[in-house]
Amino acid sequence: MRALSAVGHRRLGAAGALAVATGGWFSGKLPPHDPWGLWIDHGSTVRTVAAVLAYAGLTVLVVAWWQYGKAASTVRETLTTLAWWTAPFLLAPPLYSADVYSYIAQGAMVLEGHDVYTVGPSALDPDGIGGDAAGGVGNHWRDTPAPYGPLFLLTSAAIARITGGTIVPAVLAMRLVALASLVLIVWALRRLAREHGGSESRALWLAALNPLLLMHVIGGMHNDGLMIGLMLAGLALALRGRWVAGSALVGLAMMVKSPAAAALLFIGVLVHASATGPRVRRWAKGLLAPGLVACAVAGAATVVSGTGFGWLRTQGVAGNIHTALSVTSDVGLGLGLLGELLLGTDPEPIASAVRTLGLAAALVVVVVLARRSMTGTPSPVHGLGLGLLAVVALSPMVQPWYLLWGMAVVATTEQYGRAVAVVSVLSAALVYETHPTGATPPYGFVLAGIAAVVATLAVRRAPVVPEGVGPPGPRTPLRPGAERAATGRGSGPAAEDDIRANAGKAGA
């Protein structure tokens, strides 16, 4: 049936994305003051109706994404679908987060000579450049120093300078950065999947076409997209033997957000494996060389930006903000309150200790995965993906879009079906946790729980699907000679026909 084809699901998803963007136009994170009069509040009734429309559209989009994964599709078709699903978000106001206002305000602070690593956006003049953006910053962040690296602050400052801090053009310029990040992610995903002998279309389905990415990288314009794109590109270069350039790109990714530094350890594994000479020399090269290259790039970016090295001391500021998705923060808070109730002790030291233990455990997991990846099981790239997922799971602050860090890496190593199943289910669930305004209402967690149960049942009952597409099901071997086309190593109409033919045989 046409309605059940990849094209039918593409159209269904596009309708869902359009509903999300339309609802977000009236219920998204609207600026407190828009001199252009485009993104203005139309009252509580309109906001409520628009939010319902956005949630309904999101459900349609999630279902379309899930079903699209089961349909046989080529890379070209998947990229077309990505364009269809991305387009409705391009002119929408900020969705699911107010962080973009922080970005613009911090860029204006750099222009005005404020130390963004000491003071927050509240230091800006409300009537000056960036004043409107500062007014839209969430309460938690108005007096919080920037936790981002100099590269991203330079980008924000350039946008504030070009747009004069006017809300609409500044936000749309930030969305262009997000769109460029998506292009870089797509480029790197395809190359990493190809290097692993995997399916490019499946990697794109899981990581780029994912509603969680569309909502929070394109809709919300989170700078995590830029970090992920640079990190993936660095990995792709390192896998091809260009580890110096790859380490440099990871250094730039670190100058957006610091978790990208984990990639250096796994690039080191690749360097160690390819190094020659005495054993000590190979170990030293693998452990030190990528880090030295990245540090040199980070230092140069810091000097060029003129913002100073304050970013080294602000990396932990986000951990002071409690989010319900953080297991370590929840456990620490619970133990702290229990200690206060039973022993009359201050709950904060206990909560802080648990958060610190969580980060230490995450570091141990990353190191163990890197050590194991030296034997090839898991591969260095898959090890990095699992390591980043562990970092997110044990972090003192967790947001839904943090899942993208590790998911984008794991998506390129699709032979590890269990990890793909887990991140698929989490993706379908976490999209519901956040309201279009960026708030996290209690019913968001209820919806997320329902979605997680439904998605888990769908994975467990999934029929055999074409190799390289969709949510993981039982693996069906391809006939000899077909793998090259199915993994995307071929190109052109012949390769695409092979993909369809093999998909049909796999599902027969």
At 253-266, the pLDDT tens digits run 999 999 999 999 99
Of the listed ranges 162-171, 302-311, 317-326, 482-491, the least confidently predicted one is 482-491
- Residue 118, pLDDT > 70, answer yes
The rounded distance, in Å, linking the Cα atoms of 392 and 96 is: 19
Of the listed ranges 58-62, 85-89, 393-397, 473-477, the least confidently predicted one is 473-477
378 upstream amide cis, omega within 30 of 0:
yes
- Residue 361, pLDDT > 80, answer yes
322: closest CA among 222, 399, 260, 270? Answer: 399
Residue 86 CB contacts under 8 Å (≥ 6 apart), including other chains: 17, 179, 182, 214, 218
Residue 474 pLDDT class (50, 70, 90 cuts): very low
Residue 416 CB contacts under 8 Å (≥ 6 apart), including other chains: 378, 382, 410
Q: How many helical (H) and strand (E) elements, i.e. helices and strands, does the chain have? A: 21, 0
Residue 400 pLDDT class (50, 70, 90 cuts): very high
The pLDDT, as a whole number, for residue 414 is 66
- Do 407 and 392 meet the contact criterion of CB atoms below 8 Å apart? no
Of the listed ranges 30-39, 275-284, 298-307, 435-444, the least confidently predicted one is 275-284
- Do 200 and 380 meet the contact criterion of CB atoms below 8 Å apart? no
- Residue 507, pLDDT > 80, answer no
The rounded distance, in Å, linking the Cα atoms of 432 and 450 is: 10
- Do 104 and 91 meet the contact criterion of CB atoms below 8 Å apart? no
Distances (CA, A) of 277 to 260, 272, 288, 457, 470: 29, 11, 16, 52, 44
The rounded distance, in Å, linking the Cα atoms of 335 and 366 is: 26
Torsion of CA 170, 175, 179, 184, to 10 degrees: 70
Joined tokens for residue 155: 């980008």
- Chain centroid offset of residue 331 CA: 25
- Residue 213, pLDDT > 90, answer yes
Residue 495 pLDDT class (50, 70, 90 cuts): very low
The pLDDT, as a whole number, for residue 375 is 86
Q: Which amino acid is at 425?
A: V
185: closest CA among 202, 206, 203, 208? Answer: 208
Q: Quick: pLDDT tens for 368-389.
A: 999 999 888 889 999 999 999 9
The pLDDT, as a whole number, for residue 353 is 92
The pLDDT, as a whole number, for residue 481 is 32
Q: Which amino acid is at 249?
A: L
- Can you tell me the mean pLDDT for 424-446? 94
The pLDDT, as a whole number, for residue 316 is 75
Joined tokens for residue 243: 């580890």
455: closest CA among 473, 434, 429, 432? Answer: 429
Q: Quick: pLDDT tens for 97-111.
A: 999 999 999 999 999
Q: Exposure string (b/e) for 260-278, b if CB count within 10 Å is 16 or more?
A: bbbbbbbbbbbbbeebeee
Q: Quick: pLDDT tens for 164-181.
A: 999 999 999 999 999 999
The rounded distance, in Å, linking the Cα atoms of 188 and 386 is: 18
- Residue 420, pLDDT > 90, answer no
- Residue 484, pLDDT > 70, answer no
Which phi and psi (to 5°) does residue 223 adopt? Answer: -70, -5
Output the average pLDDT for the chain: 86
- Residue 145, pLDDT > 60, answer yes
Q: Quick: pLDDT tens for 182-208.
A: 999 999 999 999 988 788 999 999 999
> pTM, whole model, 2 decimals?
0.88
The rounded distance, in Å, linking the Cα atoms of 243 and 273 is: 12
The rounded distance, in Å, linking the Cα atoms of 10 and 77 is: 9
Q: Quick: pLDDT tens for 233-292.
A: 999 999 998 999 999 999 999 999 999 999 999 999 999 888 777 778 888 888 889 999
